[in-house]
Homo-oligomer: A and B are copies of this chain.
Amino acid sequence: MRLLFSPQLNPATETGWRRTWFDIIYRHDTPPSRNFDLLLIVAIVASVSVVMLDSVDHIHATYGHVLYAIEWGFTLLFTAEYALRLAVVKRPVRYGLSSWGIIDLLSILPTYLSLLFPGSQSLLVVRILRILRLFRILKLVQYVEEGGVLVGALWRSRRKIFVFICAVLTVVVIFGALMYVVEGPEHGFDSIPMGMYWAIVTMATVGFGDIAPATTLGRFITSILILIGYSVIAVPTGIYTAELASSLRQADARTRVVDNRACPDCGMEGHDPEAHFCRCCGHALAAPMG
């Protein structure tokens, strides 16, 4: 979180149109800035939808040029917004190099690049990354706290999850190699990486079925791997749930009003509900209310 650039107004232009636009773009608590946010959400969702629709063959065949025009419309809109963001901020270069600045740039660049390198499919994925811009807006409303609790619990359990992932990957490597030897290329296990792909798909209970064991021994090994995966799926859930429950309990404890009496002598607060005397100066306290 601290890595994110917190935009500041250009002090040389603290009045005039720049101040107005800074408030509209970067703040989220005035009616104009809320409307701007809403407009931006709609534009992002619409432009991502256009990219999606354009990838469907029969829609591309019929409406390809319409979607191309709309795409350019959104690109110009986002370009104008990007220029505006740079213009009103105090340190444009630093903004441009921040995470959000790069995501902003990535959401407009591919369309321009497609003029230079026509028909390059891979720019499509870059274009779809603009969906990440939604989080900048989401980040700043009432969902921050909720998201913060979730991410916080994930962050505190990062080491446990790292140890867990290491253990899972070791099991995956060993079972992947085992199945490569047992089943062999004739049943689809044509290399150890392929066996590992199969082991991940199996342990995580996805089970596509594109590769499946065909020998009795292979099926027996699969059953063991599944039982391991089945016991092991409990671990990340357990880690995360325990961590989250602990967070919520602490949050609970903080919001619980223990005692709202203040010492008449030294002003100390937060007394034990059973206390009759201030724990700091020994002065008598009033009787508790509730």
- A151-168: CB near B (< 8 Å → 1, else 0) gives 001100001111111100
Tell me, yes or no, whether A149 is within 8 Å of chain B by CB: yes
Interchain CA distance A241-B276 in the complex, whole Å = 39
Q: Which of A111-161 touch B at CB < 8 Å?
A: 121-122, 124-125, 128-129, 131-132, 134-135, 138, 142-143, 146-147, 149-150, 153-154, 159-161
Interchain CA distance A140-B214 in the complex, whole Å = 40
Contacts of A177 in B (CB 8 A): 51-52, 55, 124-125, 128
Tell me, yes or no, whether A193 is within 8 Å of chain B by CB: yes
| Residue in B150, B154, B227, B283 whose CB lies within 8 Å of A200 | B227
Q: Which of A224-260 touch B at CB < 8 Å?
A: 226-227, 229-231, 233-249, 252
Of A17-25, A78-86, A96-104, A178-186, which stretch is located at the interface? A178-186
Tell me, yes or no, whether A76 is within 8 Å of chain B by CB: no
CB distance from A125 to the nearest CB of B (A): 5
CB distance from A220 to the nearest CB of B (A): 8
Tell me, yes or no, whether A275 is within 8 Å of chain B by CB: yes
Interchain CA distance A178-B274 in the complex, whole Å = 58
Tell me, yes or no, whether A212 is within 8 Å of chain B by CB: yes
Tell me, yes or no, whether A66 is within 8 Å of chain B by CB: no
Contacts of A249 in B (CB 8 A): 246
CB distance from A222 to the nearest CB of B (A): 7
Inter-chain contact A279/B279, CB cutoff 8 Å: yes
| Residue in B121, B125, B208, B234 whose CB lies within 8 Å of A212 | B208
Contacts of A57 in B (CB 8 A): 185, 190-191
In the complex with contacts A266-B280, A272-B272, A242-B245 CB distance below 8 A: yes
Q: Which of A268-284 touch B at CB < 8 Å?
A: 268-284
Tell me, yes or no, whether A4 is within 8 Å of chain B by CB: no
CB distance from A38 to the nearest CB of B (A): 16
CB distance from A283 to the nearest CB of B (A): 8
Interchain CA distance A116-B223 in the complex, whole Å = 34
Extra A-B contacts (14), CB below 8 Å, given A143-B163, A241-B241, A242-B244 = A52-B196, A55-B180, A57-B190, A128-B192, A143-B159, A196-B223, A208-B208, A235-B240, A237-B238, A268-B274, A269-B274, A274-B279, A277-B280, A282-B284
